[in-house]
Structure 1
């Protein structure tokens, strides 16, 4: 088996080995992968943080050794907490955008190392080893307000509902699965919405009973979620009520307390 690391700001991960294939998720800077198969210029990979299988282009990651892969995944990472910032390469004019939730491998004295290449980062960061705090979940979620919805997205420039929840929880040291239906299996299910606290998750189903949407519960009967964009709506026992449309847009199925 081979191993790799994302060396670009955000990398599209495809369902098949083609640029025309559906984007199913994204790989952020510094996130690591296991590599299983090559097909032309594409590699079938599994992400280390959520075990998601997909295809990525050979130019959008770097190979690393098994020992480096294991070292990077031994402990929770330090991550970018700026919405958008910049990396610079010491003693050169080279720069690169870095996004919220990206990993900062081998972080020391404002310097990170990705596949033996050093970069400097002067922006905000936080350790994902910190003590869990539900108010911090809401604080991080607010950063993403008005980010556009994008199927398979995990960044401020485009994000889907489960990618939004996964990214916010990652910032707080909790690594959830990628899809809403998988996330619904985590934590403790609550019997009544009145038992929920800020930072808990609400899940919603379609007409066939399949869980297709998720959001983060806020105080005062509100929810923040990605639907068209990251937005705040009202939440009650029926589901999400969109004030602009004057109608319910999502039917509540489950409330879950992750911690």
Structure 2
């Protein structure tokens, strides 16, 4: 970094214009800050570019990290470089006071771009708390609790200011504990209001004999059957994450369809399946398999299926070579039995084995096993605990 600063000074001393080679140097400095603060574009935004305008370096683009931008500006100033800051720090002015949002549907789809035809990259379930970064047309760029950044259709969320968000956090809420079901417009359950999925949360208005009267984020009122839900505060108090509970939730999802980008009981991809299972054990895990492998404690370093415990995450993909880095493309959950079984979402949620003598042996997973991680009883900043 010090060498780059010296070179910048020399260039500007002998040149009265900011030429192409100078811009390339500026970009190298910019790239180093991006690598430091936003190496993963899925969870951080640092999209800053440079241009020369009347012998002034003009900074353009956007970032969600004001500290990173300030470091860039300090480096430029230290080298006596004249610049103009036109970078937008998110949340931008389109957001106004509504800096938070709640998922308003049983499942809200998040996409790579602000349009319905864009790739489905993840989902959030009812009541998920989101940070709002910017709005564009009928879509909004949001950040999920696991820091994933993507676009959501405005119909799938309700916007909140600071006060309303605090009221939501302080309210008595309900968590849905059945895989799939419904809420109803009436106490007699004769008319469906909306569907519900495992882990969804709504505000409790009143506890009745056979139901909870609830309020959805957008203000709709409905009724949820008592046997299908619990008070969220009570559920949290009694939640005891364990290997057995992980297995129980994982097996309850057997047969659920595979859905690229899915994270709900309606359909899920491999890492979305892991995310759902661990959410009901009190964990907010990283979203993708390539992120999940960076969290937790490394186990089975020798890839011999030794030292694994039920509930450990198993990762699969392309192994590293002298020319290519390791590429993680799949994840499953080890079931810890003498049949070497694991459960994963591939075509559907199903159980396979690493034992070649069994009819449920998975050849691809066996040949592309990359190692395992343990989340239970591990403290790690890469995942949150409810």
TM-score range normalised by the length of the shorter chain: 0.7 to 0.9
1:167 aligns to what SS in structure 2? helix
Find the partner of 2:130 among 19, 25, 33: 33
Report deviation, 1:43.
0.8
CA separation of 1:199 and 1:241: change in aligned 2, threshold 3 A: farther
In 1, are the aligned partners of 2:259 and 2:268 still within 8 Å (CA)? yes
Normalization by structure 2: what TM-score? 0.60
SS at match of 2:276: helix
Q: 2:222 aligns with which of 114, 119, 122?
A: 119
CA distance in 2, matches of 1:157, 1:195: 33
Counterparts of 1:18 and 1:191, CA distance in 2: 42
Question: Which structure dedicates a bigger proportion of its chain to strand?
Answer: 1
Alignment: residue pair count: 255
Contact 2:111 2:120 in 1 (8 A): yes
Greater RCO (Cα-Cα under 8 Å, separation 6 or more):
1
* Aligned 1:1-259 pairs, distance under 5 A: 2-47=99-144, 49-70=145-166, 72=168, 79-90=175-186, 93-106=191-204, 109=207, 110-115=212-217, 116-122=219-225, 123-125=227-229, 127-129=235-237, 130-191=239-300, 193-207=305-319, 208-220=325-337, 221-235=340-354, 243=359, 247-249=363-365, 251-259=368-376
Mark the structure with the bigger radius of gyration. Answer: 2
Is the CA contact 1:5–1:114 (under 8 Å) kept in the aligned structure 2? no
Q: For residues 84 and 94 of structure 1, do their structure 2 counterparts lie closer, same or farther at Cα, with a shift above 3 Å needed?
A: closer
Q: Unpaired segments of 5 or more residues in structure 1?
A: none
Matched-pair contact (CA < 8 Å) for 1:160–1:226: yes
Contact 1:128 1:171 in 2 (8 A): no
Q: CA deviation at 1:242?
A: 8.4
How many angstroms apart in 1 are the aligned matches of 2:154 and 2:326? Answer: 39
User: What is the RMSD computed on CA atoms of the aligned residues?
Assistant: 2.7
Contact 1:78 1:128 in 2 (8 A): no
Shift of 1:3: 1.4
Name the one with the larger helix percent. Answer: 2
Give 3-state SS (helix, strand or coil) of 1:197's partner: coil
C-alpha distance after superposition, 1:156-212 (max 9, x if no partner): 222100000001000111110111111112211113522111111111122551111
Give the Cα separation in 1 of the matches to 2:164 and 2:216. Answer: 10
Judge which range, 179-188 or 225-234, deviates more.
179-188
- TM-score where L is the length of structure 1: 0.87
Query: For residues 174 and 247 of structure 1, what CA distance do their matches in structure 2 show?
Result: 30
Structure 1 segments, 4+ long, off by >6 Å, are: none
